[in-house]
Amino acid sequence: MRTFAQRRGRNILAALCSTALALALAALPSGSYAAPAAPSVPAASSAATAQGAPARPSPGPAPDPSLTAHTLTRADAPLDNPLKGFARFYQAGADQNTGYPHALTWSYFGLSEVMNDSSDCENYDWDVLDDALDETASYGNQAAIRFYIEYPNDAGSHPTNAIPPCFAGHVANRTNAYWNTTSPDYDSAYLLDALKDFIAAFGARYDNDPRIGFIHMGLVGLWGEWHTWPYDTDTSGDSYPNYMPTDAHGAEIVRAYDSAFPHTRLEVRYPESAGGAAGSLPAVGYHDDSFCFREGSPPAGVTLPASLGGASYSQLQKALDQGVENRWITASMGGEVRPEIQSTAFDNWPGGSGAVDNMKACLELEHTTWKINEGSANYDPSNAKVAAAVRQMGYDLTVDHAYFHDTARGSTTVGVRITNNGVAPFYYPWTVSLGLKDASGHVVRDWATPWDLRKAMPVRIRAFPDWGVGSDPTYLDYGYPRYFDSSVDLSGVTAGTYQLVMKAKNPLEDTNASAKKLRFANAGQKQDGWLDLGAMTVGSGTGTSHSYEAEAAANTLTGTARTADCTGCSGGSKVGYVGNGAALTFNGVDGGSGGARTVTIQYATAESRPATVQANGGTPKAVSFPPTPDWTTTRTTTVSLNLNAGTGNSITVANSSGWAPDIDRITVT
Q: What is the CATH number of domain 397-538?
A: 2.60.40
Say if strands 662-668 and 595-604 run parallel, antiparallel, or are unpaired.
antiparallel
What is the fold, at CATH topology level, of the domain defined by 78-392? TIM Barrel (3.20.20)
142-178: pLDDT as tens digits: 999 999 999 998 889 999 999 999 999 999 999 999 9
Give the pLDDT mean for 450-462: 98
Average pLDDT over the chain reads: 91
Residues pairing with 148 in the sheet: 110
pLDDT at 28 over 50: no
Note whether 397-538 and 546-668 share their fold.
no
Domain ranges of the chain: 78-392, 397-538, 546-668
pLDDT digits (tens, 9 = 90+) for 524-533: 999 999 999 9
Q: Of 308, 331, 330, 332, whose CA–CA distance to 320 is shortest?
A: 308
The count of residues in the chain is 669
Q: Which residue has the higher pLDDT, 518 or 30?
A: 518
List phi, psi (to 5°) of 325. -65, -15
Q: How confident is the model at residue 545, as a pLDDT? A: 75
Cβ-based neighbours of 376, under 8 Å, separated by 6 or more: 86, 88, 99, 100, 102, 342, 386
Q: Collapsing DSSP states into helix, strand and coil, what is residue 210?
A: coil
- Fold assignment, 546-668: Jelly Rolls (2.60.120)
Q: Give the pLDDT confidence of 338-351 residue by residue, as tens digits.
A: 999 999 999 999 99
The answer for 622, left when phi > 0, alpha when psi is -120 to 50, beta otherwise, is beta
Predicted local confidence at residue 494, as pLDDT:
92
The model's pTM is 0.80
Band the pLDDT of 592: cuts 50, 70, 90.
confident
> Each residue of 52-110: pLDDT tens digit?
999 999 999 999 888 899 999 999 999 999 999 999 999 999 999 999 999 999 999 99
Residue 656 banded pLDDT, cuts 50, 70, 90:
very high
Residue with the bigger pLDDT between 641 and 6: it is 641
pLDDT exceeds cutoff 50 at 37: no
Contact status, residue 286 vs residue 333, Cβ threshold 8 Å:
yes
> Which of 402, 392, 454, 394 is closest to 424 using CA atoms?
394
